[in-house]
Amino acid sequence: AQTVTQSQPEMSVQEAETVTLSCTYDTSESDYYLFWYKQPPSRQMILVIRQEAYKQQNATENRFSVNFQKAAKSFSLKISDSQLGDAAMYFCAYRGRMDSSYKLIFGSGTRLLVRP
Amino acid sequence: EAGVTQFPSHSVIEKGQTVTLRCDPISGHDNLYWYRRVMGKEIKFLLHFVKESKQDESGMPNNRFLAERTGGTYSTLKVQPAELEDSGVYFCASSQVLGRAKRGGYTFGSGTRLTVV
């Protein structure tokens, strides 16, 4: 069975600086999708960035980028120029290509604090 | 477009009572998912509806949980009788077509925080 591990329960970053959130996963599949979701306090979860496993190029979305290491099964999220609005729970998620339900497998989350 | 709506936002019930959570997906979204996060742990999949049919209910923990989606619109998740370990945040997500879901393009609700005391 696939698993997703986020080993950092909480991270803190100074506003305008850079922070990296870690995520590792375990799977026997060769093709899959990886995602980072953000959940602000009492708000709905939104997709931050996604990566398709067959693509070697790391995905980027404005200040958010990933470091996808397929062999190491690692998928970290880098947030550059951190802003107060980035404070949230961040969840790493996996979706196997063979799953007909397209359900997501999540990690336990990392709470990001942004210091002004 | 209106988002995915879940209510109540919070519910505190006693062990042994019944609670019903409701999710209103985005209109026209055939795919509806329920997930649950027990405090401090990972978010876990519970089940997936395609319209009114249960496509995958492999994540339902036991027969105390009953999910329905009458008419393929809103969905309810009933817990009866509730146990202490059922406490957590219950998320609902919807997607119009599987193709969009395939890329992780779900729309999530804000969740229902359930506390069983």
Question: Is the pLDDT assigned to residue B60 strictly greater than 80?
Answer: yes
- At B81-91, the pLDDT tens digits run 999 999 999 99
Question: Is the pLDDT assigned to residue B101 strictly greater than 60?
Answer: no
Residues B44, A92 contacting (CB under 8 angstroms): no
Chain B residues within 8 A of A42 when measuring between CB atoms: 9, 110
Residues B87, B116 contacting (CB under 8 angstroms): yes
Residues B75, B47 contacting (CB under 8 angstroms): no
CA distance linking residue B58 with residue A67, whole number of Å? 32
Residues B96, B113 contacting (CB under 8 angstroms): no
- At A2-57, the pLDDT tens digits run 899 999 999 999 999 999 999 999 999 988 999 999 999 878 899 999 999 998 89
What pLDDT shows up at residue A58?
Answer: 94
Specify the residue for token string 């999220």: A77
Question: Is the pLDDT assigned to residue B1 strictly greater than 80?
Answer: no
Question: Is the pLDDT assigned to residue B2 strictly greater than 80?
Answer: no
Give the model's confidence band at B98: pLDDT under 50 very low, under 70 low, under 90 confident, else very high: low
Give the model's confidence band at B41: pLDDT under 50 very low, under 70 low, under 90 confident, else very high: confident
A103/B56 Cβ within 8 A: yes
Give the model's confidence band at B72: pLDDT under 50 very low, under 70 low, under 90 confident, else very high: confident
Chain A residues within 8 A of B112 when measuring between CB atoms: none
**Measured torsion, CA atoms of residues A7, A22, A62, B103, in degrees rounded to the nearest 10:** -80
> In this complex, is the C-beta atom of A107 within 8 Å of any C-beta atom belonging to chain B?
yes
Residues A96, A35 contacting (CB under 8 angstroms): no
Whole-number CA gyration radius for chain B: 13
B105/A109 Cβ within 8 A: no
Closest CA to B16 of B77, B78, B82, B72: B82
Beta-sheet strands, E only, within chain A: 3-5, 10-14, 19-21, 24-26, 32-39, 46-52, 60-61, 64-69, 74-79, 88-96, 105-106, 110-115
What pLDDT shows up at residue B103?
Answer: 63
